[in-house]
């Protein structure tokens, strides 16, 4: 079934689960995956009744890479037809003001600060022309603006930074291993806090990230927890699976082995 506007994939996925379909295929990028995931969650007992599968048709396809899905569509479709299932952790965020609190599940990652601002600035026409490089352009624009300071609280552990990333798996932005201990089956969120983000940060960390796909150990503060809360004294955006979802404050939790997925 084709989607025509934002929210269609979520509605169609929920309807498919209610109609008894046991494998729901998200044919698209990480934003489509997120909509389909939340559609499954909208159906009664949806995460027990249905399995999520991914046909990677998007710009970056981070979640598909995390699952090890083939990039060629015919090969990916054969994986889906074999219906090999595993269970992974299911993260969730509740965010926004008390009187208008929202909930969103996510598959791979979430973030606040620089990357949420960059996603807000992405030109969709440029994205169609140059693909993932559009996010780089938007990120450079975001570096030129004043960034909110994000406060991170995970029990006794506290941190703050201008960029906070929350991972379920290892990858961010493709095959960059920003979450070194990320594991989709350990029941923990991995929080990566960048205290400052500037042109100097980009020059210092960029070459290693591009060449090795990793960050220096001391470049960030890592917190691993079952629950984490992000707040900011100024307006700060929140992204989930590469799509702008709303605004902080936000509380993140994880349901261990809460999601059934199709894998190679």
Contact 254, 89 (CB under 8 A): yes
Q: Are residues 108 and 141 in the same domain?
A: yes
Q: Are residues 44 and 79 in the same domain?
A: yes
Which helix (H) or strand (E) is 35 found in, with range? helix 30-42
Q: Among 221, 197, 95, which Cα is nearest to 149's?
A: 197
188 is a domain residue: yes
**The total number of structural domains that make up the chain:** 2
Tokens of 234: 């100024």
251 is a domain residue: yes
Instruction: Decide which of 3 and 105 is more confident.
Output: 105
Q: Are residues 122 and 21 in the same domain?
A: no
- Domain with 247, as residue range(s), is 91-257
Cα–Cα dist 158/168, whole Å: 20
pLDDT at residue 2 greater than cutoff 70 = no
262 is a domain residue: no
Chain centroid to CA 262: 18
Q: Are residues 68 and 157 in the same domain?
A: no
Cα–Cα dist 59/110, whole Å: 17
Q: Are residues 128 and 166 in the same domain?
A: yes
* Max Cα-Cα span within the chain: 53
3 is a domain residue: no
Cα–Cα dist 238/29, whole Å: 18
pTM: 0.89
Only one residue has tokens 């470049």, namely 219
Q: Assign 119 a pLDDT band (cuts: 50, 70, 90).
A: confident
Contact 180, 213 (CB under 8 A): no
pLDDT (tens digit, 9 = 90+) per residue, 64-85? Answer: 999 999 999 999 999 999 999 9
3-state secondary structure of 201: helix
Q: Are residues 105 and 117 in the same domain?
A: yes
Q: Are residues 173 and 119 in the same domain?
A: yes
Q: Among 263, 205, 231, 238, which Cα is nearest to 104's?
A: 238
């Amino acid at each position: 079934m084709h989607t025509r506007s934002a929210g269609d994939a979520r509605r169609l996925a929920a309807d498919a689960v209610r109609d008894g379909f046991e494998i729901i295929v998200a044919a698209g990028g990480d934003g489509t995956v997120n909509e389909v995931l939340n559609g499954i969650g909208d159906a009664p007992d949806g995460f027990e009744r249905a399995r999520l599968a991914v046909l990677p048709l998007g710009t970056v396809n981070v979640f598909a890479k995390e699952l090890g899905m083939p990039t060629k569509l015919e090969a990916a479709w054969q994986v889906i037809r074999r219906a090999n299932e595993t269970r992974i952790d299911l993260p969730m965020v509740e965010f926004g003001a008390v009187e208008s609190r929202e909930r969103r599940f996510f598959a791979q990652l979430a973030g606040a600060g620089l990357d949420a601002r960059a996603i807000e600035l992405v030109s969709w026409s440029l994205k169609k022309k140059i693909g993932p490089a559009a996010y780089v352009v938007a990120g450079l624009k975001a570096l030129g603006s004043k960034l909110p300071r994000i406060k991170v609280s995970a029990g006794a552990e506290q941190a703050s930074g201008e960029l906070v990333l929350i991972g379920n798996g290892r990858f961010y932005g493709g095959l960059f291993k920003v979450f070194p201990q990320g594991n989709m089956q350990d029941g923990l969120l991995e929080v990566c806090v960048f205290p400052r983000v500037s042109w100097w940060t980009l020059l210092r960390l960029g070459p290693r990230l591009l060449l090795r796909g990793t960050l220096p150990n001391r470049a960030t503060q890592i917190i691993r927890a079952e629950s984490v809360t992000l707040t900011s004294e100024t307006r700060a955006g929140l992204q989930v699976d590469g799509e702008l979802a709303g605004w902080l404050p936000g509380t993140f939790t994880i349901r261990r082995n809460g999601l059934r997925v199709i894998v190679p």
